[in-house]
Chain A
Amino acid sequence: MLDRRTLLLGGAALALSGCKIFDSATERDSRLRAVFASQEGLTKFAQRAMIGDRLAPEFTEADIRQGMRPNGSVDPASADYRRMANTGFADYRLTVTGMVETPVSLSLAELTAMPSRTQITRLDCVEGWSCIAKWRGVPLGSVLTLAKPKLTARYAVFHCFDARERSLSGEVFYYESIDLIDAYHPQTILAYAMNGAPLPVANGAPLRLRVERQLGYKMAKYVHTIDLVESFADIGLGKGSYWADRGYEWYAGI
C-alpha cells in the first residue's frame, strides 16, 4: 500500500512537471490560465491599497555604477525614425491626442524647456535583473495638464516608433498604457536625458516613459503619441500593452 502510494505520488509529481499537463496554461485563452490569472486583480488592488501615492525608492549618485542596460528594441528601423535620429530629433514631435480638450504637439525643445524632474531610480526587468540610472524628464502630469484630459479619459496609451514584429495586418508597434493614477504620479516622467546625457537611441531616444513603481516593460521607449482613452479594448489585442497582449500582467507592480 505504501509503495503504491509513493509510486502514485512520485508519478503524479513527475507527470505534473516533466509532462505537459500545465502547458495549456500558456495558451492565452485557456480556461486554466484564466483561473491562475484571477489573482491579477487582487494583486493590483492590494498594491494600490498599500502604496497610495508613495514614491518609489530613489538612490544616490554613488549607486550608479554602470551604464543602463538596454533591452527590447535598441535601434528602431522605420524610415521616419531613422531620418529623425540622423538629424538629432530636431523635427520630432510628441502628440497628445484622444479624449483631451486641446490636442497638443510638442517639440523636443519645448519639452526640455518645461520644468523637469531628475531622479535616480532602479529599473526592474520582468526577467529578474535590475539596473540603477539617473533620469531627467518632464512630469507626464504637466504634459497632460496642457492637453486637459476629458473626464471620461481613464488611460494614457503610449504609441512607439519601434516595430516588434510583422503580422498579416502589417507591422506591430510597441505600445503601453497606464491609468491616470500612475500618469499623474510625481515620478512618472517623460525622460529625455539619462545619466547626465541626452537619452541614447538604445535606451529610447528621444523620449521614453518612466513609471517607477512598475516593471521595465511598462516604460515605453521611442514614444511619439500619447492617446487618452476610456478603454483599450480596441487597441492591439485589447489587453492594453504589447506585452499584456502576450500574457504579461497589465499592472506590473510585481
Chain B
Amino acid sequence: MPDGPLIYRQRLLTRITHWVWAISLFFLMLTGLQIFNAFPSLQLGKESGFGYDNAILKIGAVEVDGGLRGVTRIFGVEFDTTGMLGVSGGEARAFPEALTIPSKTSLATGRVIHFFFAWVLVLALGLWLVASAVNGHLGQLIPTVADLRALPRDIADHARLRLHRSGEYSVLQKLAYASVLFVALPLMILTGLSMSPGVNAAAPWLLDLFQGRQTARTIHFLTMLALLGFFAVHMAMILLAGPVNEMRSILTGWYRTGGDDHA
C-alpha cells in the first residue's frame, strides 16, 4: 500500500504535555528509587512490621566471608542480587547509583526533586485533561463499542506486526494510552498522596481505599513498574511502526498515513 497523505494528528498542547510527562516520569522514577533506598522494603498494611513481618519485598545486604552480598527477598524467597540490588559499587544500597537521582545517597534531595516533578506532572495532567475534554481529544482515546468489537482483530494484527497507519488510534493503542492516563497516573497520584500525613488528615478515605499507608506505598511502587512496562512496549511499538514518522508526529504533529504493512 502506498504512502497516504500527511495529516495533523497531535495538537501542540498534546505534544507539549506528552513531553512534560515523559521528562517528569523520568525524574519521578529515579528520585523515587532514591527515596525507596531509605527504606528498601515494601509492606502491606497500616504500618511497618518491626515486631512482625508484613513485607512482600525486602532488599538488603549481608556480610558473607568478609564481603558484602546483596540479598533481595520477594514473598519469602531470597535471591542473591549482588552488583544490582542490595550491594553495588562495593557498598550497601538497594538500587545502584546509576538508577537514582542524585546518584549518591541523599534522601532530602531525592524528595525535593520528586515533589517538584510531582507538581509538574499533576498540573500538566490537569491542563491536558481540561483542554482535551474541550477540544474532543479525550474522545479519541476512549474505545467505542465498534472498537471493542474489533479488538480480537487488532490483537491478531499486532501479533503479526501488521500496524495500520490511519489517522486514528487502534483499539489497543486507545486502551494502552487510556489505562496510563486514566488509571496508572491517577493511581500513582492518589497512592502518593496517601503517604502524606497531611493529606491523611484531609482525606482519610484514601487510607481506607488503599488499605493503609504501607499498602499505598507498595501500590505506588508496583504502578511505577507497570508504567515502566508501558514505556518498554511504547518504545518497541515506535520502532516497529516507523520511528521517523512516529517521532515527527509527536514532535510536529504531522503523521504520514497509509503504507500499513511494515513487518
Decide: A129 near B106, CB < 8 A? Known: A22-B101, A39-B119, A51-B201: no
* B44 interface residue (CB < 8 Å to A): no
A22 touches B49 (CB 8 A): no
B108 and A248 contacting across the interface, CB-CB below 8 Å: yes
Specify which of A51, A63, A125 lies most central, judged by the most chain B CB atoms within 10 Å of its CB: A51
Contact with A along B32-43 (1 / 0, CB 8 A): 000110110100
Known interface pairs A39-B119, A65-B52, A131-B47; A214-B26 also in contact (CB < 8 Å):
no
Flag whether B139 is at the interface (Cβ < 8 A): no
Within 8 A of A (CB), among B94-125: 97-104, 106-109, 111-113, 115-116, 118-119
Q: Do B107 and A63 have beta carbons less than 8 Å apart?
A: no
Contact of A2 among B26, B50, B103, B244 (CB under 8 A): B244
Within 8 A of A (CB), among B183-215: 195-204, 207, 213-214
User: Which B residues lie within 8 Å of A37 (CB)?
Assistant: 112, 116
Label chain B's interface by main secondary structure: helix
Is B69 an interface residue when CB atoms closer than 8 A count as contact?
A: no
Residues on A with beta carbons closer than 8 Å to the beta carbon of B26: 13, 16
Verify A63–B46 contact, CB threshold 8 A. yes
Contacts of B202 in A (CB 8 A): 47, 50-52, 54
B210 CB, nearest partner CB in chain A, Å: 13
A20 to B102 Cα, complex, angstroms: 7
Residue in A26, A43, A67, A128 whose beta carbon sits within 8 Å of that of B39 in the complex = A128
Q: Please tell me if the beta carbons of B39 and A129 are within 8 angstroms of each other in the complex.
A: yes
Q: Is B48 an interface residue (CB 8 A)?
A: yes
Q: Is B165 an interface position by the 8 A CB rule?
A: no
Nearest chain A CB to B47 CB, angstrom units: 4
Contact of B46 among A14, A39, A52, A132 (CB under 8 A): A132
| Per-position 1/0 for A152-170, Cβ under 8 A of B | 0000000000000000000
Contacts of A227 in B (CB 8 A): none
Separation of A130 and B106 alpha carbons in the complex (Å)? 20
CB under 8 Å from chain B, chain A span 181-216: 212-215
How many Å from the CB of A97 to the closest CB on chain B?
29
| Sampled A-B contacts (17; CB under 8 Å) | A16-B101, A23-B103, A25-B109, A26-B102, A26-B104, A43-B119, A47-B198, A54-B201, A56-B197, A59-B46, A66-B50, A66-B52, A124-B213, A125-B39, A132-B46, A248-B108, A254-B197
Which residues of B come within 8 Å of A, CB atoms?
Answer: 26, 30, 35-36, 38-39, 41, 46-52, 97-104, 106-109, 111-113, 115-116, 118-119, 195-204, 207, 213-214, 217, 243-244, 247
Q: List the 5 shortest-distance A-B pairs measured between CB atoms, nearest first.
A: A253-B198, A66-B51, A247-B108, A128-B39, A18-B98
